């Protein structure tokens, strides 16, 4: 009985740790996604797009999973057309 209880408690604490770890790492994953996508967009646009527009597009696309054509339209937009 004691072995079963200790195994169950170990499983519970492990699951709790993994959940808390995922919650705390979410902002870091979002920031990493934004940085990678911004660099990719900047390269795809041959560094000719407006940096603010590309950054906003990267932020939006990391939240909502944009398609490539939607991302590429950011290359032709400038800050005043938003």
Expressed as residue numbers, the domain containing 56 is 30-82
Say if pTM beats, i.e. exceeds, 0.75: no
Is the residue at 20 inside a domain? no
Instruction: Supply 49's token pair.
Output: 């797009």
Q: How high is the pLDDT of residue 66? A: 82
**Average of per-residue pLDDT values in the chain:** 75
The tally of domains found in the chain comes to: 1
Confidence of residue 46 (pLDDT cuts 50, 70, 90): confident
> Left, alpha or beta for 78 (phi > 0: left; psi -120 to 50: alpha)?
beta
Q: How high is the pLDDT of residue 1? A: 52
Is the residue at 65 inside a domain? yes
Is the residue at 64 inside a domain? yes
What is the Cα 24 distance to its own chain's centre? 14
pLDDT in tens, 5-38: 677 777 766 676 666 555 555 566 788 889 998 8
Total Cβ atoms within 10 A of residue 21: 9
Is the residue at 63 inside a domain? yes
């Amino acid at each position: 009985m004691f072995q079963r209880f200790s195994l169950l408690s170990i499983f519970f604490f492990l699951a709790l740790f993994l959940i808390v770890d995922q919650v705390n790492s979410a902002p870091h994953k979002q920031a990493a996604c934004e940085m990678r996508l911004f660099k990719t967009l900047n390269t795809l646009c041959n560094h000719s797009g407006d940096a603010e527009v590309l950054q906003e597009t990267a932020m939006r696309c990391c939240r909502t999973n944009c398609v490539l054509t939607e991302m590429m339209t950011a290359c032709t937009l400038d800050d005043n057309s938003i």
